[in-house]
């Protein structure tokens, strides 16, 4: 028996900028749910090439890939998630489905799911998502804060459309875009002997205990590599998940820390002193997505916004 959507639009065709038939929607939904053209064909008692042809026609009409076919996978892209969400709201009317399809194809609407490491969640990612949603009222951007390993797992499992991390996974099936190289700075309490310094070396910084990100953070690992490269030992006073917590602990006099300077526009900047590092240290930030999703307009817009981020005004 046909579902309610097909009963509603069985003889109709979406028009104006694109033509999407009821049959295409029906086959798309089954392929989306089963994550397989073979299983979808078996469920509908038709040939697998027929399913593949209809999906390809729908992708050609939209102008964006709906499924990632790299290797043996058949995973929905962010465009497919957005179209499925629109289809599920069919009781609100056929017109909204047509509008949602046009928005997804143009990158002005849809639903983008992002995983990001904590270090840039409150700064670069939150600012980019907020600005983009303000500009595009039909676009929704959900942000999940995960460590690098968990974020990549969420991407591979299809729970997010992109992951903001530091390391390049080196996977040929994934697109890796370098967004920026953060230039971290040292922060110390106002009464710290280094508060008035024009620069601080790794050795000078390590003379007092450090407040650091957790060992799961790629930025924490980069700091450890910096100290090791200068053969400097250091004491960890405390470990925290976020840079905001680093700033607040340093502001209370608990120790010293290394942070991305962008966080100082959102935290207690007046309670700490910022000192440039003379030691070589940078934090690369990358966006990882499936290659098939990389050309989807909504994801491209988000990538461009992340690249243009200049940090909060101070």
Tell me the pLDDT of the chain (314 aa) as tens digits.
444 433 333 333 343 345 777 788 888 889 999 999 899 989 988 999 998 999 999 888 888 899 998 878 889 998 888 888 887 766 455 566 666 676 677 766 778 999 999 989 988 999 999 999 998 888 899 999 999 999 999 999 989 999 999 999 999 889 999 999 988 999 999 999 999 999 999 999 999 999 999 998 999 999 999 999 999 999 999 999 989 899 999 999 999 999 998 888 765 567 899 999 999 898 999 999 998 777 788 888 899 999 886 554 43
At residue 7, the pLDDT reads 38
The reply to whether 162 and 292 lie within a common domain is: yes
Q: How many Cα neighbours within 13 Å face the side chain of 224? A: 12
The reply to whether 176 and 288 lie within a common domain is: yes
Domain count, the chain: 3
Structure tokens that stand for 273 in this block: 């002193």
CA distance 314 to 312: 6
The reply to whether 198 and 168 lie within a common domain is: no
Burial class of residue 91, CB neighbours in 10 A (0-12, 13-18, 19+):
exposed
The reply to whether 95 and 5 lie within a common domain is: yes
Query: Which of 106, 121, 150 lies at the terminal end of a domain, its last residue?
Result: 106
The reply to whether 267 and 304 lie within a common domain is: no
At residue 114, the pLDDT reads 96
The reply to whether 30 and 85 lie within a common domain is: yes
CATH code (residue 291): 3.40.190.10
CA distance 17 to 108: 15
At residue 194, the pLDDT reads 95
Structure tokens that stand for 278 in this block: 């003379």
The reply to whether 69 and 215 lie within a common domain is: no
At residue 4, the pLDDT reads 42
Query: Which of 54, 82, 106 lies at the terminal end of a domain, its last residue?
Result: 106
Q: Which of 236, 271, 276 is nearest to 259 (CA)?
A: 276
The reply to whether 102 and 116 lie within a common domain is: no
48-62 and 22-34 helices cross at what angle (nearest 10)? Answer: 110
- Residue 10: CB partners within 8 Å, gap ≥ 6? 2, 22
> In 207-295, at which residue ranges do the beta strands (DSSP E only) sit?
210-213, 236-240, 257-260, 272-275, 283-290
CA distance 79 to 295: 10
Structural domain that includes position 45? 1-106
The reply to whether 212 and 76 lie within a common domain is: no
The reply to whether 174 and 207 lie within a common domain is: no
Q: Are 79 and 64 in contact (CB under 8 A)?
A: yes
């Amino acid at each position: 028996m046909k579902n309610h959507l097909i009963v509603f639009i069985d003889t109709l065709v979406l028009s104006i900028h694109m033509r999407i038939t009821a049959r295409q929607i029906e086959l798309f939904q089954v392929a989306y749910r089963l994550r397989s053209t073979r299983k979808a064909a078996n469920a509908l008692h038709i040939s697998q090439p027929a399913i593949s042809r209809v999906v390809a026609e729908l992708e050609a009409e939209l102008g964006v890939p709906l499924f990632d076919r790299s290797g043996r996978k058949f995973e929905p892209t962010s465009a497919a998630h957005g179209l499925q969400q629109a289809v599920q709201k069919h009781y609100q009317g056929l017109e909204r489905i047509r509008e949602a399809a046009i928005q997804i194809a143009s990158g002005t609407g849809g639903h983008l799911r992002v995983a990001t490491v904590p270090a840039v969640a409150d700064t670069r990612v939150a600012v980019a998502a907020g600005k983009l949603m303000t500009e595009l009222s039909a676009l929704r951007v959900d942000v999940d804060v995960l460590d690098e390993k968990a974020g990549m797992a969420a991407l591979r499992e299809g729970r997010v459309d992109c992951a903001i991390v530091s390391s390049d996974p080196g996977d040929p099936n994934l697109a890796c875009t370098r967004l920026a190289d953060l230039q971290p700075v040292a922060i110390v309490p106002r009464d710290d002997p280094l508060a008035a310094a024009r620069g601080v070396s790794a050795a000078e910084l390590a003379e007092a205990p450090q407040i650091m990100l957790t060992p799961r953070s790629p930025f924490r690992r980069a700091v450890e590599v910096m100290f090791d490269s200068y053969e400097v030992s250091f004491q960890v006073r405390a470990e925290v998940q976020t840079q905001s917590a680093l700033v607040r602990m340093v502001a209370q006099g608990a120790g010293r820390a290394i942070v991305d300077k962008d966080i100082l526009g959102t935290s207690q900047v007046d309670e700490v002193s910022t000192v440039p590092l003379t030691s070589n240290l940078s934090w690369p930030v990358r966006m990882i997505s499936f290659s098939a999703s990389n050309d989807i307009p909504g994801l491209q817009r988000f990538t461009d916004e992340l690249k243009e981020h200049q940090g909060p005004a101070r």
